[in-house]
Amino acid sequence: MPDAVRLADKLARFSDLWSPKIVAQFNGHDVMVVKVKGEFVWHSHPDTDDFFLVLQGNIVIQLADGEVRLGPGDLYVVPKGVQHRPVAEEEAHLLLIEPKGTPNTGDAATAAVKDAI
């Protein structure tokens, strides 16, 4: 029987930025928490949508044709293949869902290693 996942407890265990930590598995996907601050790289995922739920703080998801502003309790799904760049002026905490093995930068060569916590 899997355990309940307390997202706040998981987030208290690390401080590195842009480094998603796996907290659960769901239908072949990794469910992850991540801390972000600053500007990420422009990237896209050719084979998967990209799920963002803001748990704390605020982020902007920049897109080629605009931007989406998200605060706590706001959710956004970047469709597969769509170029985007997450940006956070101050530290923000997110829940992410991606198929297992998806590189967070869209490129295996530059992707963060995703450890389970």
By the criterion CB under 8 A, which residues form the site for a second copy?
1-8, 23-27, 29, 31, 48-49, 51, 53, 55, 63, 65-66, 68-70, 73-77, 79-80, 95, 97, 99
Rounded-to-integer distance, Cα 19 and Cα 35, Å: 7
Residues contacting residue 66 through CB under 8 Å, at least 6 positions apart: none
Q: Look at the block and give the residue holding tokens 């998603």.
A: 20
Q: Which two tokens stand for residue 95?
A: 């829940």
The residue among 2 and 109 lying less far from a second copy, judged by its C-beta, is 2
Q: Which is nearer to a second copy, 47 or 109 (CB)?
A: 47
Minimum CB separation of residue 80 from a second copy in Å reads: 8
Q: Name which of 22 and 109 has its Cβ closer to a second copy.
A: 22
Assess contact for 61 and 84: CB atoms under 8 A.
Answer: yes
